[in-house]
C-alpha cells in the first residue's frame, strides 16, 4: 500500500474515491493529523498531511515517530514523501522536481529513532532512500512527460527560520543540492520501520545564496508551491499503478532493514519498548 506524506495540494486528486478520514493512534503520541484513506483506479492509498490540514505544525514540532508508526499501522509499505525545498544548485531552478538519494542531517531537537535505552538497533543509512522506488518514480514520470532529476543531496536543517547567507554558502561548499526542513528524521524512521521511502523534493526558490534571491519570503515560496501543485498531482497519479504493480517490491532490502540491526540480546530487551514497536518491528518480534 502506498502512503503519501505531503500537503493538501497532493491529496486533492481527481479520481480519488471511497475516501474517509480515520484517526490512527500511536504509542509515540499524536500524528500530524488523521489519515485520509482512499482508492485511485482501484489502488488503495493513504495520505498524511505532514503539517496538519490547517498547517499548524512547524517542521521542528512534527511528531515524526508517530507519523511513521501510524502509516505502518495503516498497512503502508511504500512512502512517497513530497516536500518543498530550496535549491543550492544553479542547475536546479524553481519548479524542478528532485528525487533525493542522499542527506546531510543538521536537525538537532527531534526524536530520530524508535529505539534507544533498553533496546538498541543500528540500521544502515548508506542509501537512505529506496532506490527501487525512486527508479520507478523516475521512469513513470518520464512516461507521463513529467521531468524529474534522479539523485540529489538534501541538507536537512532544523528551522523554522530559513538559512543565513553564511549557512547557505557553507552547504553549497558541501555540494548539497537542495535544503529543506522535513525529510529528517522522517527517512531514518521509515528505514527503521522497514518501509520503502522515496523523497520527491519540489524546488520553490534558490535559497538566499543566489544574487537574485537575497531574501527568501514566504510569499515567494507559497507562490511557487501553488504552481508546483498541479504537476505534483499529475506525478502522483502517474506513478501509483507502477508502484502497485511492481512484482519485485516484496524482496526490496528496505523491508528487511532490521534483520541484523538489533544489538540488545533478547533477555535484556525492555518489554515496554517491544510493546511500543508492535507495528514498527513486529516482523522481527513475531507479532505482525
> What are the pLDDT digits (tens) for 24-42?
999 999 999 999 999 999 9
CA–CA distances in Å: residue 82 to residues 225, 230, 236, 271: 11, 13, 10, 35
Percent of the chain past pLDDT 90, that is, above it, reads 85
At residue 227, does pLDDT exceed 70? yes
11 pLDDT tier (thresholds 50, 70, 90)? confident
**What is the spatial distance between Cα 84 and Cα 182, in angstroms, rounded to a whole number?**
9
Strand partners, 21: 36
Please write the tens of the pLDDT for every residue from 108-118. Answer: 999 999 999 99
Quickly state the pLDDT bin for 63 (edges 50, 70, 90): very high
pLDDT value at residue 288:
46
Give every CB contact of residue 236 below 8 A, 6+ residues apart in sequence: 4, 10, 13, 80, 82
Q: Judge whether residue 226 has pLDDT over 50.
A: yes
What are the residues whose beta carbons fall under 8 Å from the beta carbon of 66, sequence distance 6 or more?
26, 28, 29, 30, 31, 32
> Residue 241: pLDDT band by 50, 70, 90 thresholds?
very high
Percent of the chain with pLDDT over 70: 96
Active-site annotation, residues: 205, 207
pLDDT of residue 209: 87
261 half-sphere exposure, CB direction, 13 A CA radius: 24
Q: Which residues, at least 6 apart from 146, have a Cβ–Cβ distance to it below 8 Å? A: 97, 231, 234, 235, 238
Domains annotated on the chain, with CATH: 2-248 (3.40.50.1580)
Residue 173's contacts (CB-CB under 8 Å, 6 or more residues apart) are none
Per residue in 162-210, pLDDT tens?
999 999 999 999 999 999 999 999 999 999 999 999 999 999 888 888 8
Query: What is this structure's pTM?
Result: 0.95
pLDDT exceeds 60 at position 215 = no
Q: What was the pLDDT predicted at 213?
A: 60
Q: What is d(CA 69, CA 281) in angstroms, rounded to the nearest whole number?
A: 10
C-alpha cell at 183: 525529510
pLDDT band at 214 (very low <50, low <70, confident <90, very high): low
Q: Is the preceding omega at residue 186 within 30 degrees of 0, hence cis?
A: no
Mean pLDDT of 88-108: 96
**Residues 139/246, Cβ–Cβ less than 8 Å:** no
Amino acid at each position: 500500500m502506498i502512503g503519501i506524506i505531503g500537503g493538501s495540494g497532493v491529496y486533492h486528486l481527481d479520481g480519488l474515491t471511497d475516501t474517509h478520514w480515520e484517526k490512527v493512534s500511536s504509542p509515540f503520541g499524536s500524528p500530524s493529523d488523521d489519515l485520509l484513506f482512499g482508492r485511485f483506479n482501484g489502488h488503495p492509498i493513504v495520505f498524511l498531511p505532514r503539517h496538519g490540514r490547517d498547517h499548524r505544525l512547524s517542521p521542528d514540532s512534527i511528531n515524526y515517530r508517530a507519523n511513521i508508526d501510524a502509516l505502518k499501522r495503516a498497512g503502508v509499505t511504500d512512502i512517497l514523501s513530497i516536500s518543498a525545498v530550496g535549491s543550492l544548485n544553479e542547475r536546479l531552478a524553481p519548479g524542478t522536481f528532485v528525487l533525493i538519494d542522499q542527506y546531510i542531517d543538521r536537525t538537532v531537537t527531534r526524536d530520530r529513532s524508535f529505539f534507544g535505552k533498553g533496546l538498541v538497533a543500528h540500521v544502515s543509512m548508506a542509501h537512505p532512500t529506496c532506490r527501487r522506488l525512486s527508479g520507478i518514480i523516475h521512469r513513470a514520470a518520464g512516461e507521463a512527460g513529467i521531468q524529474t532529476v534522479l539523485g540529489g543531496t538534501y541538507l536537512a536543517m532544523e528551522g523554522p527560520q530559513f538559512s543565513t547567507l553564511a549557512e547557505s554558502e557553507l552547504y553549497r561548499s558541501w555540494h548539497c543540492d537542495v535544503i529543506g526542513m522535513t525529510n529528517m528524521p522522517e527517512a531514518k524512521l521509515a528505514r527503521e520501520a522497514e518501509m520503502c521511502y522515496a523523497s520527491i523534493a519540489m524546488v520553490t526558490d534558490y535559497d538566499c545564496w543566489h544574487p537574485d534571491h537575497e531574501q527568501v519570503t514566504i510569499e515567494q515560496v507559497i507562490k511557487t508551491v501553488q504552481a508546483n501543485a498541479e504537476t505534483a498531482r499529475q506525478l502522483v497519479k502517474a506513478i501509483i499503478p507502477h508502484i502497485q504493480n511492481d512484482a519485485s517490491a516484496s524482496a526490496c532490502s528496505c523491508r528487511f532493514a532490521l534483520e541484523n540491526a538489533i544489538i540488545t540480546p533478547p533477555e535484556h530487551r525492555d518489554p515496554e519498548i517491544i510493546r511500543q514497536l508492535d507495528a514498527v518491528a513486529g516482523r522481527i518480534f513475531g507479532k505482525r
